[in-house]
Structure 1
Amino acid sequence: MRRAVLLSLSLILGGCVPTADFVELRDEVRELQAEKRKLKETEAELRKRLEEADRLQKSGDVAPKVDALEAKIESLKLRQQGFDQKLGELLRRLDESTRREEGPALPQAKAPAPGVKPDDTAAAKPKAGGVDVPFAALTPTAAYNQAYNDYLKGNYDLAVAGFEEFLKKFPETSLTAHAQYWIGEAYFNKRSYLPAIEAYERVIANYPKSDKVPAALAKAGVAYAELGNFVKARGLLKRVVDEYPQSAEAALARRRLAELQ
């Protein structure tokens, strides 16, 4: 997503399209950037304190402090996800504004052929921002956000279908690994642990450099634990701790490993 963000921000902050909508978007993005910088600084400080606490963890007095620090880091991660969601919405609005300003209008939908129900033609077109648009006409960001919004609303089956369609249409974008990860999350929230594990393992195998790999490893471990396969669960959780010791997921992995002992 980082590449799409930088491209979109360059359009906003560079003032290429100085409309009222873009001025508003520019101000919102600047505020969002400032808040995210503060969050990253706070997280870095908490991680330093957590590392120090880990070194002193043999002391019984330190354990509650470690738990408190890990809880704060988890809270920061949730806030960052909220900011990412807001940024995704800004990008969606930017995509729509860009199409209005620079691109030709989408052709009007044709009337349904004789014998075809209107509902059948409508079902074949996903909606972006409440407007019927053929999926092929959506930008990668808009298509991704459409599926992600379904996930946030708890429409997990729709989210899975949307992300799978995204992967077919846009297999080489910066959002591809994230789409695969959210398929796993949707299945996990449905307690469908086997397909969730399969989705997480695709993230790990197909996108080894993605920032979603630590989360995929951790959640796959948790899913295996839910299925009673504690050997697999420990192996994956240990990988998170060993390979990504500074990640927020490592804190989760340490707690789950302690519970599985």
Structure 2
Amino acid sequence: MKKLKTAITGIIASVILSGCVTTSEFEQMKADIARLYVESSQLKQDVSELKTRIDKMSSDLTSAVALKEGQLTLLAQTQDYVKELQLLKGRFEENSFQNEKKFKELNDKIAELQAKLNQPAASPEKNELTKPAQETLKDPKAIYDSAHIDMKNKNFASAREKFQEIIKNYPDFELLPNSYFWVGETYYNEKKYEDAILAYEEFLKRYPKHDKAPGALLKEGMAFLELKDKKTAKVVFERVIERYPQSKEAEIAQQKIAEILNSGNSGKKTPTKKTKSKTKSKTKR
């Protein structure tokens, strides 16, 4: 602008000094110079605005590039997460399938036992009939204590009747869950393992979080083991470990699984144990 002003001033001065310009021409020159000033000012403003726009476009472009890079990184991370999720999903579905298969086998076995036990049975023996003394007991706690005395004296049939009486007539009794558990114990002690399994299962369905639940599930597995059904016993022991991993019963279940696996490898040791058990049973009788 300064150079333009200097040039215009020089032109005007030279024209005036030469004396060759008329008044109208001089006025026209003044108008042209004024127009040049306006155009120059407008051009300067346009250049400034253009520079501002270029700076803004450059900033936007930088932000867009950074955003694009961030999106690409996020996309890569998302793809990794999707792959990991698919892998975990596959493992979960595989484990679920195996567990469902095991539990179905266990439920089928229990249903088979239930059907077998639902068949008409012989009339109860006289020593399993309700004793007159039991009819006088109306307090559930007294009946419960009396049942435990029978358990101590190995009178399991009498004890079972008293526990079943509590279950039938005293649904609000605080030790009702224990009564369900002890019914299973009476059967187990009588070596009626099929009945014991069903009794333990009934208890577990009603009270899965009871403090006796780990013991009931462990004894259910032991009952299957006594019935020589090692496959189902192993499934039950695995169930103990899965449901009650911090319990003592879980440790025992782990040992029993190891014994089952070892017995499967040794083969010849099992018949020896069977012979011993038969000898013992004959001696007791």
Higher Rg of the two aligned structures: 2
Higher relative contact order by CA 8 Å / sep ≥ 6: 1 or 2? 1
**TM-score, with structure 1 as normaliser:** 0.48
More helix by share: 2
